[in-house]
Structure 1
């Protein structure tokens, strides 16, 4: 299953600037484009850390943090399902 370069194109509500928005989407796209589980795990933790850093710096609200975490969980599920399906097909 081919991956696309851009997973999300709509705005993530509550992000304080375009720069923060671009950085967030770079992290989501890195996760979405992961070819192996190790890369997916690394990208996932990078995105979690970015979200926490924004929250610790009080640049986002609790609601925005929840929205970002929900988006990240959705992307994670898609990626893990894709990688597991590829592994099963490869080993069959």
Structure 2
């Protein structure tokens, strides 16, 4: 697992392939956002998705914290990328 990106570490926490696929789509949308507004909107969708998983008891508090950290990191990386492109 040493060569695995941080964003991929959350996959084993998810209950099935459908949930996992949606999770990776959300991360990809955050990281590929074309504007800061798009990135923030995708981040909010991802946080809503994580909340829904927790509310449905598909993830526990530790999983929630890990997934929230992953999307926050994706948000920060995407915003930094957009900031650097503007320079």
- Give, in whole Å, the separation in 2 of the partners of 1:52 and 1:69: 9
Report the RMSD for the aligned CA atoms in angstroms: 1.4
Select the structure that is richer in helix: 2
* Correspondence for 2:62: 63
* Correspondence for 1:37: 36
**1:13, distance to aligned residue in structure 2 (A):** 3.2
> Per the alignment, in what secondary structure is the counterpart of residue 35 of structure 1?
coil
Structure 1 segments of 4+ aligned residues over 3 angstroms from their partners: 8-11
Give ranges in structure 1 of 5+ residues lacking alignment: 1-7
* Correspondence for 2:53: 54
Give ranges in structure 2 of 5+ residues lacking alignment: 1-6
The Cα offsets for residues 35-88 of structure 1, whole Å up to 9 and x where unpaired, read as 10111011000000000000011111111111101111111110011111122x
Q: Is the CA contact (8 Å cut-off) linking 1:32 and 1:76 kept in structure 2?
A: yes
Normalised to the residue count of structure 1, the TM-score between the two structures is: 0.81
The Cα offsets for residues 6-58 of structure 1, whole Å up to 9 and x where unpaired, read as xx555523111111010000000001100101110110000000000000111
Give matches, 1:13-32, under 5 Å. Answer: 13-32=12-31
Q: Is the CA contact (8 Å cut-off) linking 2:10 and 2:66 kept in structure 1?
A: no
